[in-house]
Amino acid sequence: MSYQHYRLEELARLVQGELVGQADLCLQGLASLELAEPQHIAFVNADKYVEQAKVSKAGALIVTPELQQQLDTHQNFIVVANPYLAFAILTHVFERKHTQTGIESTAQIHPSAIISESAYIGHYVVVGENCVVGDKTIIQSHSKIDDFVEIGKECFIDSHVTITGEAKIADRVRIHANTVIGSEGFGFAPYQGKWHRIAQLGSVQIGNDVRIGSNCSIDRGALDDTILEHGVIIDNLVQIAHNVKVGANTAIAAKCGIAGSTIIGKNCILAGACGVSGHLSIADNVTLTGMSMVTKSISEPGTYSSGTGALPNAQWKRAVIRFRQLADVPLTQLQKRLDHMQTQIESLESTLKLRK
């Protein structure tokens, strides 16, 4: 629910676009072409959406010059080179802002913690010994900031987040609800048939502008720290094991898991549900497609994939039976045998011709 109103000319100025139509048109929000009403502005970013745009009830449209020409159905536009980027900028205008500052009376703050006056600490938050919370940072209800954790400025920590392991979080970091940062890594030494816990003494370092989704687990390191470099973005339900290092601006989609001590390069893209084994090194600019299983280091940039997409069940069953048989079928030999036999047959044919 948005209470803000903006005039079309204000929005045009914000995205540095050209205003066409009614400058003081009042707009209350962004909407999709399909569901927009006259108080909404929508965007069109490709020819394939032109038909949908023509029948949209949106009060104004964000378009390129070429798209505007096709839309004689509408009068009010913001004309830009990149409508998707303009849309992205305007989402921040219409987003409901959190304005409250201060510490709710129900929060438990350790006397030694240093919390900026412009920060907001929500209901039932617990902040521990020697913690630091920077300017304009928002920590929503119920979150737990354990001893010696430091959080920079303009961060957003949603509800039910647990931050422990003396994690150090830089500026403009956004961590979504119910995520765990700095919990103990899975360090166990097998000895005489039982597992012996290795206490994890490292920490977590999170750089500027990192975003972590909900229900993620980012473990503290064993001795050295687990590291997320600047600009890393992570989706929900992701596992980052102890001593993983993720390079700057790498994007990790939901349900990925990266095992211990693996180093991921910069500018990588890991699609949903990838699994990366431990102690590997993945170069910069590597893309993994969905559900890829990476068991060896990758030294060359590029796109890598694994798995076999869904087939109708009956066909899949036959393919799986063959896959198992593959273990004992010397495929490359088959081709060689065929080639050899081809030669033998041709020789026989020649011989027969000669003797005619």
Q: Which of 46, 81, 114, 345 binds a second copy (CB under 8 A)?
A: 345
The tokens for 90 are: 């305007």
Binding flag, residue 247, a second copy (CB under 8 A): no
Three-point CA angle 11, 212, 214, nearest 5°: 100
Q: Are strands 257-258 and 281-282 parallel, antiparallel or unpaired?
A: unpaired
Question: Residues binding a second copy: what is the number (CB under 8 A)?
Answer: 139
For a second copy, the closer CB: 69 or 313: 313
Q: Are 311 and 319 in contact (CB under 8 A)?
A: yes
The tokens for 224 are: 């050295």
Q: How far is the CB of 126 from a second copy (least distance, A)?
A: 5
Residue 74 catalytic? Answer: no
For a second copy, the closer CB: 22 or 289: 289
Q: Which helix (H) or strand (E) holds 63?
A: strand 60-63
Binding flag, residue 354, a second copy (CB under 8 A): no
Binding flag, residue 180, a second copy (CB under 8 A): yes
Chain centroid to CA 240: 13
278 contact partners, CB below 8 Å, separation of at least 6: 241, 259, 260, 261, 262
Find the part of the chain contacting a second copy (CB under 8 A) among 4-12, 16-24, 57-65, 229-237. 229-237
Q: Which of 153, 272, 281, 284 binds a second copy (CB under 8 A)?
A: 272
Binding flag, residue 166, a second copy (CB under 8 A): yes
Q: Which of 17, 29, 83, 134 binds a second copy (CB under 8 A)?
A: 29
Binding flag, residue 251, a second copy (CB under 8 A): yes
Burial 265-274 (b: 16+ CB within 10 A, else e): bbbbbbbbbb
Q: Are 234 and 220 in contact (CB under 8 A)?
A: no
Residues 61-100 as x/- pattern, contact with a second copy by CB under 8 A? -----------------------xx-xx--xx-xxx----
For a second copy, the closer CB: 153 or 255: 255
Q: Which helix (H) or strand (E) holds 218?
A: strand 217-219
Binding flag, residue 192, a second copy (CB under 8 A): no
Q: Which residues does the annotation mark as catalytic?
A: 242
